[in-house]
Amino acid sequence: MTGAALREPTERVGRGWTATLSLANGAIWVGWYGPLQILLAVQAEDLAPAGTSKESVLAWVTGAGAVVSLAANPLFGAVSDRTTSRWGRRTPWIVAGTAGGAVALLLLAAAAGSVWWLAAGWCLVQLTLNAAFAAVTAAVPDHVPRLQRGSVGGWLGAAQLLGVVVGTGLATVAGGTGAGYAACALFTVVGVAPHVVRHRDPRLAAADRPPWDRRAFLAGFRLSPRRHPDLAWAWLTRFLINVSNSVVLLYLLYFLRDGLDYADPDEGVLILTAVNGATMLATVVVGGAWSDRVGRRKPFVLWSGALMAVATGLLALWQTWPGALVAAAVLGIGFGVFTSVDFALMTDVLPTAMDRGRDLGVINIANSLPQVAAPAMAAPIVTYLGGYRTLYLTAAVVGLAGAVLVTRIRGVD
């Protein structure tokens, strides 16, 4: 008989469980985005060697962290799948990852004399916080029945967005780099604690854990379209839509400065980001709950992706400040719905209960990899193939292709 940890959940989780898990998720994003938005940039400028630009230092440090993130998330997801602790499969890694992340953030504050130390500290932050994030993400299919995952995913998405804002705010107002790291570390620990303390994670019985096989463990990280076609199509959908969205967000500053000749591009990015965030926040919970109510996922992913493609196309065809405002608002509406419903869709196509953490970790690569793929795609287009008009038209086509591919999934409506 299958133990509680591997059963498909049937009882709806309460508001308290959703609230504390969302808070934990948002707190982890505070730990990531305080450094990413503010603190690492300040340190890169201070530590850049003579003859090396601060932009190059920052790109190298964040790139190294991104590589660690790509590997750490599925690895810790897989390790948590096999954990038989009396505190459950996920809780030990949430605790260890959060504590390790807080220590790593404090170590980053001491990176006063070396770019290598800065890179090592940021890689340690990525390693530890990804351990916690993988476990938090896997807790959803462990506890939440299928027709509640859209609304829970919506709250997690809202918490993620607020975590970015709070992390940036703490890093800005704390009063110095060291204080900024300390504030982010403290918030991360305090934000994760309520879920760990208040909610029990079911224990995986030793008899339910498969025997250790190194080859099988490593082979599990390969996404096989033949064995699990729905998972592969869902991954590709998420990847392409995120590539399109990353192109828009990463190049807003340059687009405003070079494409629109906007007087204050820094202020313009802030305004567009606020508009995008507000409309995303307005739809991320509503979209997921609506998807739960009608019991369908694919139409929401298809039409939200199509709406995002329209918004991206507007940036190419209506290159004015009002056009950019409208595009930012429409993009936020689409991405809010996509964020919550696509998360629920991903949990619905997971092949086995035993490997939820690993498979979600592999899926999460579709969130991280676009941050590398988008610049690689954009640079030659902007330089040689027609500038920002061509770039945004290309991004719109890529995003629309991702949305259409969701129709290839057969096991989910």
Q: Is the pLDDT of residue 320 over 90?
A: no
For position 374, what pLDDT does the model report?
A: 73
DSSP reduced 3-state for 223: coil
User: Would the pLDDT of 94 be above 50?
Assistant: yes
* Confidence tier at 316 by pLDDT (50, 70, 90): confident
CA 369/CA 66 separation, integer angstroms: 8
Average pLDDT (209-221) is 77
Least confident of 14-28, 175-189, 256-270: 256-270
Mean pLDDT value across residues 62-80: 88
- Is residue 311 within 8 A of residue 334, CB to CB? The reply is yes
Spatial contact of 156 and 21, defined as CB atoms under 8 Å apart: yes
Over 70: is that where the pLDDT of 385 sits? yes
CA-closest candidate to residue 188, choices 262, 148, 259, 128: 128
Let me know: does 399 contact 309? Beta carbons within 8 Å. yes
Distance from C-alpha of 138 to C-alpha of 260, rounded to nearest angstrom: 43
Output the pLDDT for position 265. Answer: 74
Residue 197, pLDDT above cutoff 80: yes
**How far from the centroid of its chain's Cα atoms is residue 330's Cα?**
20
Q: Classify 52 as helix, strand or coil.
A: coil
Share of the chain above pLDDT 90, in %: 31
C-alpha separations of 105 from 156, 230, 351 in Å: 23, 38, 36
Rounded distance between C-alpha atoms, residue 186 and residue 178, angstroms: 12
d(CA 91, CA 89): 6
List % helix, strand, coil for the chain (3-state, nearest 5): 80, 0, 20
Q: Which of 148-162, 181-195, 293-307, 350-364 has the lowest mean pLDDT?
A: 350-364
Q: From 57, 78, 374, select the one nearest 214 (Cα to Cα).
A: 78
Residue limits of CATH 1.20.1250.20 in the chain: 13-203, 229-408
SS3 state at 50: coil
The rounded Cα 74 to chain-centroid distance in angstroms is 13
**CB-CB contact of 331 with 399 (8 Å):** no
Per the prediction, the chain carries an average pLDDT of 85
Per-residue model confidence (pLDDT) at position 3: 67
Q: What is the pLDDT of residue 2?
A: 55
List, for residues 100-154, the tens digit of each pLDDT value: 999 999 998 876 578 888 889 999 999 999 999 999 999 999 899 988 988 999 9
Q: Measured between alpha carbons, how far is residue 133 from residues 32, 281, 311 in Å? A: 11, 21, 30
Domain 229-408 maps to which CATH number in 1.20.1250.20, 3.40.50.300, 3.90.230.10, 3.80.30.20?
1.20.1250.20
Q: What is the pLDDT of residues 258-313, one digit of tens each?
A: 777 777 776 777 788 788 888 988 999 888 889 988 888 899 999 999 999 999 99
Question: Does pLDDT of 1 surpass 50?
Answer: no
The first and second tokens of residue 125, run together, are: 């932050």
Q: Please provide the CATH number assigned to the domain covering 13-203.
A: 1.20.1250.20
Contact of 340 with 288, CB cutoff 8 Å = yes
